[in-house]
Amino acid sequence: MLMNQITKERIFSSFSVTAFLGFTLFVFGPSYIYFTNALEFSYTYSEILKYCLFLFLAAAIFLGLIRTSLHYHLSKMATLPNPTNADLERGFTVPQVAEKHNWTEPMVWSLALEDKEDLERFKEVGWRLRTWDQWEVNDCLPREIHGNDSLPG
């Protein structure tokens, strides 16, 4: 008895979403097509509306049952353990964790760098921030070009 009541509550709670989707697809859509091309149809709107409402109810019930059963079964699934994060917290390196769990290194890096600021990520990856003096931007062009008046413009 309790299971039936829970199922009824879940169907009712999911009905609004499925009703919106079904009404849009099976009532508003065909109605729009009918009213924009009314002269091309040999049927009246009331004849078409019966079938649209039937399709809407069938789709709403069908989608509601699918959503309810998925919600029920997914909620029963156990929470997956997260050994990858545990291994990273224990001090294993990213290549070691990737090899252990048969993952690619970028996948492990994305977990390792999750919820960190950019500077922390740079430090973890081993990237250094360099100042402008170390980038040697001023040596890109010869000094003669900077002071040459013969350039156009």
Give the pLDDT confidence score for residue 123 in this predicted structure: 85
Q: How many CB atoms lie within 10 A of CB 66?
A: 12
Decide if 142 contacts 123 (C-beta within 8 A).
no
Residue entry with tokens 């004849």: 47
User: What confidence score (pLDDT) does residue 39 get?
Assistant: 87
If you ran DSSP here, which 8-state letter would residue 56 be given? Answer: H
pLDDT of residue 148: 53
Tell how far CA 92 is from the center of its chain: 30
Mean pLDDT, consecutive 10-residue segments, the chain of 153 residues?
65 73 85 89 88 86 79 64 78 89 88 86 80 57 54 53
pTM here? 0.40
* 146 vs 27: CA distance, rounded Å: 71
